[in-house]
Chains A and B, each alone.
Chain A
């Protein structure tokens, strides 16, 4: 193989990197199963090509849950075919802003924060009072 072909092949070669990433995921998943310690792998700083990402997601597959979060742009969250292994992808303006593998029961971006509940309760009460007011006006 010529030097040029070799270099091009090196640029395109994606198998080994994805395998290493999957083994790391496996190690963290096994640790989570044993101890409950959550983990996260940031794919952002890794030198991954589009083909790498496709290969990774093809092997991880899709599981039972998928969700979209609309806050400061869109976020896509799905459980992979391996329980407790999640993919979390945050978008800015259509481009990927952060791309993660999370090993957890439920990614924190999905859970509502209890501190937001107080405000939500107040807004719900206001909505109910407004509804009641409307009904009395009509009566």
Chain B
């Protein structure tokens, strides 16, 4: 693996022209809603960059995030991302194991001091000195601290790394915490989701590699390009919500007609993610298109928010009992619903907190 030559030189050596960079840049610019004119700057940045050393740490996780990124829907194009980075450590994917694997991590850290990116999936147990999850006899807590010391930035992928996720769900027996609590001031990007959308992961890494800086982030440290709008904002069933047309059961007339799944517990109005536009499985579908409400998996503490099938509290301005009110409000609020989404999320979170107490 040669870290000294530019990506352009490396690709040229393999007989791939600069068109590959242009194409990839167009793809990333489109994904991240950058102005199309940014594609050329992105391509130039990528071509001039050196292969980015990436150390991927997997802690309290299920490997779903790795499954997601390795099953991106455009393998030919997405594979380019894996040509642009040097995945120097990923204990699930790497060929070596044991001491040799840990040696690879230490060597990558020494060779790329101050320049490598740490990607983390999974939360970190902190209770009892972090004994509940270890790799090669090293606690996750210690490994993160050691690896972050000379890193350029850290990318937390998946809701466990971003917010604690399922390991941190009540009663959180291992004292699991999000990476943000342990990042020690390192630049941090959260790419939440259970799992995150693969294009969000590759898009963000490409952006950082090309421009050498973090993309614009929201208040939870997530890239706005992918987390700037709610699922509800871009849901194709939204016109039914606007008119108060809801499915009341998973097999009723409304469900068969494809009506809004709000009353069946859909968390789309309070969930920021790009599932409704990028979709899953090669752009084939996403949960709502398959007839199931959004679980809200990219939001903090989604596991403890009172049940996947419990409808959200009544939107602002609604009257009467929650469900009937929601239906009426859906019809009455019209386009104001999107503006209300943020406040609605606060109401929802406040209600959930109250319930917990």
* Chain A residues proximal to chain B, CB less than 8 Å: 3-4, 6-7, 10-11, 39-42, 44-45, 47, 69, 71-73, 75, 88, 90-93, 95, 97-100, 102, 108-109, 112-113, 115-116, 119
B245 touches A72 (CB 8 A): no
User: Chain B 217-248, CB within 8 Å of chain A: the 1/0 string?
Assistant: 00000000000000000101001101111000
Judged by a CB distance under 8 angstroms, whether B290 is at the interface is no
User: Chain B 242-259, CB within 8 Å of chain A: the 1/0 string?
Assistant: 111100000000000101
Chain B's closest residue to A100 (CB) is B36
Beyond known contacts A3-B331, A42-B29, A73-B77: 10 more, CB 8 A cutoff: A4-B257, A7-B245, A47-B236, A69-B23, A71-B19, A73-B23, A91-B74, A109-B23, A109-B26, A113-B18
Distance between B76 CB and nearest chain A CB, rounded to angstroms: 4
Chain A's closest residue to B234 (CB) is A47
Q: Give chain B residues whose Cβ lies under 8 Å from the Cβ of A93.
A: 73-77, 282
Cross-chain pairs A/B with CB under 8 angstroms, 6 sampled: A4-B240, A7-B240, A69-B23, A91-B77, A92-B74, A97-B77
Q: Give chain A residues whose Cβ lies under 8 Å from the Cβ of B12.
A: 116, 119
Q: Give chain B residues whose Cβ lies under 8 Å from the Cβ of A95.
A: 73-74, 282-283
B78 touches A92 (CB 8 A): yes
Chain B's closest residue to A107 (CB) is B22
Q: Give chain B residues whose Cβ lies under 8 Å from the Cβ of A92.
A: 27, 73-78
* Chain B residues proximal to chain A, CB less than 8 Å: 8, 12, 16-20, 22-24, 26-27, 29-31, 33, 36-37, 39-40, 73-80, 234, 236, 239-240, 242-245, 257, 259, 277, 282-283, 331
Distance between A87 CB and nearest chain B CB, rounded to angstroms: 13
Q: Give chain A residues whose Cβ lies under 8 Å from the Cβ of B76.
A: 72-73, 92-93
Contact of A41 among B20, B36, B77 (CB under 8 A): B36
Contact of B243 among A6, A75, A113 (CB under 8 A): A6
A40 touches B36 (CB 8 A): yes
Distance between B193 CB and nearest chain A CB, rounded to angstroms: 19
A45 touches B33 (CB 8 A): yes
Total A-B contacts with CB atoms under 8 angstroms apart = 110
Given contacts A72-B76, A92-B77, A97-B74, contact A4 B36 (CB under 8 A): no
A44 touches B31 (CB 8 A): yes
A10 touches B239 (CB 8 A): yes
A105–B142 Cα gap in the complex (Å)? Answer: 57
A40–B25 Cα gap in the complex (Å)? Answer: 14
B36 touches A3 (CB 8 A): no
Distance between A40 CB and nearest chain B CB, rounded to angstroms: 3
Q: Give chain B residues whose Cβ lies under 8 Å from the Cβ of A45.
A: 30, 33, 277
Q: Give chain A residues whose Cβ lies under 8 Å from the Cβ of B39.
A: 40
Q: Give chain A residues whose Cβ lies under 8 Å from the Cβ of B234.
A: 47
A54–B40 Cα gap in the complex (Å)? Answer: 28
Contact of A72 among B8, B20, B40, B259 (CB under 8 A): B20
Contact of B24 among A44, A72, A100 (CB under 8 A): A72
Q: Give chain B residues whose Cβ lies under 8 Å from the Cβ of A115.
A: 8, 18
Chain B's closest residue to A123 (CB) is B15
Q: Give chain B residues whose Cβ lies under 8 Å from the Cβ of A6.
A: 243
Q: Give chain A residues whose Cβ lies under 8 Å from the Cβ of B30.
A: 42, 44-45, 97-100
Q: Give chain A residues whose Cβ lies under 8 Å from the Cβ of B236.
A: 11, 47
A40–B331 Cα gap in the complex (Å)? Answer: 37
